[in-house]
Amino acid sequence: MGKPGFSEPVKLVCAVMGRDEAMLNRGRDLMGEQYGEAELASPVFDFSFTSYYEPEMGAGLVKQFLGFGPLVDPADLADIKRTSNDLEAGVARADGLPGRGVNIDPGYVNGGQLVLATTKNYSHRIYLGNGIYAELTLLYARGAFNPLPWTYRDYRTDEALAFFTRARGVFLDQRR
């Protein structure tokens, strides 16, 4: 019989999306106040992969991936997602229309995977508690992060894979 062990800390990452870089910076700063300064950032890119967010956030969205300094307990992922939802709710759209101004999607990177938190259930997601699910989004194998059949298109790009590979390297250095 196996004995329960303790989880190893992981690298907190998130995707921040909004209408402009000012909104991305607002999301980064809000997360930084909670979880420490962002030490990694991908280039900002146009989010043209889906129109899903346009009714709530408007058109012409941009996105950026971030990685935060201190390692966190993976068991805290559901609480981190609930916190990010609360932070989002406090940021109005800059154009004054109803909806949110920023979208923050947290997750974590460790040596073998990128896991994202979501409020949406689906067949490949695991319930964590308090209305939050976890999704294995990228799997590290054969020296690279690899997408899975359900991996969102923006997480499949060369830029995204390079960012999460870099975050993995920082995580491995911090863990030593």
Q: Where is 116: in which H helix or E strand?
A: strand 113-118
pTM, full prediction: 0.95
CA atoms in the 13 A half-sphere facing the CB of 47: 27
Residues 145/65, Cβ–Cβ less than 8 Å: no
* 96 band by pLDDT with thresholds 50, 70 and 90: confident
Which pLDDT belongs to residue 6? 86
In the three-class reduction of DSSP (H, G, I as helix; E, B as strand; rest coil), residue 86 is classed as helix
E strands in the chain: 10-18, 38-41, 45-46, 62-72, 102-109, 113-118, 126-129, 132-141, 144-147
**pLDDT of amino acid 20:** 95
With residues binned 3-state (H G I as helix, E B as strand, rest as coil), the percentages for the chain, rounded to 5, are 30, 35, 35
Residue extents of the structural domains in the chain? 10-175
Backbone phi and psi for residue 45, each to the nearest 5 degrees, phi listed first: -135, 155
* Mean predicted lDDT score pLDDT of the chain: 96
9-63 pLDDT tens trace: 999 999 999 999 999 999 999 999 999 999 999 999 999 999 999 999 999 999 9
> Looking at the predicted structure, is the pLDDT value of residue 157 above 90?
yes
Judge whether residue 64 has pLDDT over 90.
Answer: yes
Question: Using 50, 70 and 90 to split pLDDT, how confident is the model at 98?
Answer: confident
